Structure formats: structure tokens, C-alpha cells
Structure 1
Amino acid sequence: MQKTLLALAAASLVSIPAQAEQFWSDTSVSLLNGSNYEFAKDVDITTMTLEHVSGHSWGNLFFFQDRHKGGSYSESYGEFSPSFTLTKLSDDGFFKDINAAFTYEFGTTQGGQSLDNYLFGIGSNLNVPGLDFASATVYMANNEEFYGNSKDYQLTVAFGYSSGNFGIDGFMDYSFSNDVDSKKNSMNFTPQITYNIGPMLGTDNKVKVGVEYSYWTNQFGINDQDQNAVSLLLKAHL
């Protein structure tokens, strides 16, 4: 399975035209503040995030970098996630396309351990009535030392909805543990609920205020290590 997904990703890269076009892009910086995070209990955590998403003639690119800081706690985490269009389907159908997807998860934990995970998958952008965008991807995750060199499968769903200056967007990761007996199935559901105050500030750029809700069952596959946290959010689009 892993060899097949690697071959598909390689084929997608080879097929990218020399005159690749960028159709749209969005870059933002965010500031989150909250508590009740499972990885830093009883500590008020501030998270700074740089995020980028863009659409190209060859597919899509998503990237973000987090920096968590609170008291003596500090941690970094990021993802680099391109997807390559293998074939276009009907714009009117439920599945718009079929994509080869890759995600590189990286970071440094509080204890100083490095985090390097590699995910290979197949996904599709979806037509869901009422939503601005939606996608679903099935990954095979190759987790490195920090996770015990385990392999598992993950379903990732992303979505977005807006009405005027009000918006809800986020993701859901569901990890199926099939390689390490001690690990459990895990679900991470994290939406952001925001309101754009850019017009009030006299700027065309979006400046969003709101909350992020993090609901994560069996965090990192650890049984009954559940997270239920709400953070205040300020997000400026550049």
C-alpha cells in the first residue's frame, strides 16, 4: 500500500507542467489563548500560528506552523501538506476530483524530542450543499520514533462555511490504530468560529475574532486521554 501511494505521489510530481499556475492563495497569522489542553494541564497556553493555503493548476498546498508557549511549557508543531490532482471529475457531482496527498508533520516536544511523521493518501474535494469547501482524504501514516515507529490509517475531513462576515471552518482527523496494541482509535475535531471585523477597522483584509474548540479523544492514541478545550482567537489575513 505504501509503495503504491509513493508511486502515485511521484507520478503526480512528474506530471506538473512547467508553466504551473497559481489560481488563489491565502496567508494568515493567528493568536490563540486558552487552557485545559491535555498536553499542558492547568497552564494557560498562547499559540502563534502562521498558515498558508493555495490552489494551483497541479493541485493544492496547505502549510502551517504553530508555536505553543505557557509558563515553562513550550512546543512547536507544523504540517506541510500538498495534494496533486490525478484526475478531474464532474463539478456537479459529490466528488470533484481524485488527488494524491502527502503530509509531513514536524515539530519539537516539551521534552526536546523531534517529531517527524509522514502521511501518504488519496482524497477528493467534495460538493456539500451549504459549504464553501469540503474535502476528505484517507492517509496511511508512517509515525517515527516519538510514536514508537508505528503505522496506522487516518481519515481527514476539512470543511468551511461562511455567511457574510460570519464563518466556521475546521477539520476532523480520525486515526485507526492497527499496528501497536496499546494505541487506541483517536478523533481530533477542531473547528474555528469567527467574525470578520475588518470592515469595522476600515481594511479590506479579513481580521477575524472568535473561538477555537478542540475536542480530541484518546489523544495520541492513549486510552481516556481526552482533550476538551476552548481558546480565544485573533486571526489576520495578509
Structure 2
Amino acid sequence: MKKVVIGTLLSAAIAVPAQAEQYWADNSVSVLYGEDYKLVPEEKLTTMTLEHASGHSWGGLFFFVDRHVGETPEGGTQFKETYGEFSPKVHLVKMDGFVSAINAAFTYEFGSTSDASGQQDNYLYGVGADLAVPGLNYASATYFYANNENVENDHQLTLTYGWNQGNFNIDGYIDYSTATEDLDAQFHFNPQITYNVGPALGISNKVKVGVEYSYWNNKFGLKFIDDEDKDQNAVSFIIKAHL
């Protein structure tokens, strides 16, 4: 399966026109603060994020880097983590209708922590579809086969969506990962609900304030941890500036 998907990605990349065109791009920085995070040394986290998204004649690119800093009320050493994802997609077929494109997709996940407990690198290979859902700015559904040194036959479905009405915005993603011999199935619902206060501040760039909600059933899929210790219900306050 892995070889088939890699071959598809390489074939699609070779087919990318020499005169590729960028249609749009968006860069942002954000700061989040929230509580009730699971499976981190401190349940209170401040997260700083650098994010990029762009659309091209050949497909699209999305990547972000998070820097998590855990709060330590006792004055001890802070927990720190860096986590990122790099996700290009290449159009295999473009069409009119509810399905507007079929894509070859790839995601590279990486992370490290100050206490050396960070995850291994993950490589996700897949195929997906851009969807023209009435009322939404964008939507997509992508199937991934995930590969790393420790887990085999890990399958993931990712849905993304975005909607706005004036300055009010809702966007986010849903991940579902199947169970393996070593891991439980996981479900992660992660929307951001924000309002653009840029016009009120007299600036043309978007400045969004609001909340991010993270519901993560069986976080990381760890079988040896009780459900109440790995089911995450966390709300974070967010401010996000588009550059």
C-alpha cells in the first residue's frame, strides 16, 4: 500500500506544470491559552503557532509549527514541546460538481519535548477530495495510511472545513484513526470559533479572537491508560493575526 501511494505522489509531482501559478496564500501567527489538556505534565498550556496555507494551480500547501509551554504553579521547570505538520496535496483530477478535485496527499508530522518524551516522526500517504459543500468556504475529505517505526496498518480519515458570515468564522478539522494491535481508535474534533476585530481596530489585516475547542477521544490511542486520563475536553482562548 505504501509503495502504491508513494508512486502515485511521485507521478503527480512529475505532472506538475513548469509554469505553476499561486492563486492565494495566507500566513498567520496565533497565541492560545487553555486548561484541561491530557497526557502532558501540566494541564495548562500556552501555545504559539505559525501557520501557512496556499492554493496553487497544481494543488495546495498547508503547514504549521506549534510551540507549547506548560504552566508550573510550583515554580519548577516548565514543560515545552515543539510540534509541526507539513501537508502538500497535488491535484490528480479537477472537475465541476460536489467533488471539485481528487488529490494525492502527504503529511509529515514531527515533534520534540523538553523531557525527551516526544513522539516519533509520522509519515501519512493518502488520497482525498476537495468538496464544494453549499455554504462552506472550503471542505475536504482525505484518507491516509500512516507509517512510523512503531505502528503498522494505521489508517486515518481527515475532514477539514471552513465557514464565515461577515467577520464571524468557524473552521477546523476532524481526525479519526482506526485501532491497531497496539493502539485504540482515536477521534479528534478541533474547531476554532473566532470573530475578526480588525475592522474595529481600524486595520485591514484580520485579527481574530475567540476560542478553540479540542475534544480528543482516546488521545494518542494508548491502551494502558484509563479513559478518564486520555479523553480530552479542552477550551483555549485564541488570538490570531493574519499577516
Unaligned 5+ runs, structure 1: none
Aligned to 1:81: 87
Equivalent residues in 2 for 1:61-140, closer than 5 Å: 61-70=61-70, 71=72, 72-90=78-96, 93-112=97-116, 113=118, 115-140=120-145
Alignment root-mean-square deviation, CA = 1.3
Letter in 1 for 2:99: F
Q: 2:168 aligns with which of 153, 166, 169?
A: 166
Structure 1 distance, partners of 2:182, 2:17, is 45
Is the Cα contact below 8 Å between 2:194 and 2:211 reproduced in 1?
yes
* Cα distance per residue 1:16-66 (max 9 Å; x no partner): 111111000000000000110002265321000000000001100000000
Equivalent residues in 2 for 1:166-185, closer than 5 Å: 166-178=168-180, 181-185=181-185
Q: How much does 1:188 deviate?
A: 0.8
TM-score scaled by length of structure 1: 0.93
Q: 1:232 and 2:237 equivalent? A: yes
Structure 2 distance, partners of 1:122, 1:139, is 7
Equivalent residues in 2 for 1:188-227, closer than 5 Å: 188-223=188-223, 224=227, 225-227=230-232
Q: Percent identity?
A: 56
Q: 1:152 aligns with which of 151, 154, 164?
A: 154
Structure 2 distance, partners of 1:7, 1:42, is 42
Unaligned 5+ runs, structure 2: 73-77
Letter in 2 for 1:165: N
Structure 2 distance, partners of 1:79, 1:115, is 13
Deviates more, 1:113-122 or 1:53-62: 113-122
What count of residue pairs does the alignment treat as equivalent? 231
Is the Cα contact below 8 Å between 2:66 and 2:83 reproduced in 1?
yes
Q: How much does 1:114 deviate?
A: 5.5
Is the Cα contact below 8 Å between 1:143 and 1:151 reproduced in 2?
no
Letter in 1 for 2:202: G
**Any idea what SS the aligned residue of 2:93 has?**
strand
Structure 1 ranges of 4+ moved more than 4 A: none
Structure 1 distance, partners of 2:125, 2:30, is 28
Is the Cα contact below 8 Å between 1:35 and 1:41 reproduced in 2?
no
Aligned to 2:35: 35
Q: How much does 1:137 deviate?
A: 0.1
**Any idea what SS the aligned residue of 1:205 has?**
coil
Is the Cα contact below 8 Å between 1:140 and 1:154 reproduced in 2?
yes
Letter in 2 for 1:219: K
Is the Cα contact below 8 Å between 2:219 and 2:232 reproduced in 1?
yes
Structure 2 distance, partners of 1:41, 1:187, is 22
Is the Cα contact below 8 Å between 2:100 and 2:131 reproduced in 1?
yes
Letter in 2 for 1:109: T
Q: How much does 1:130 deviate?
A: 1.4
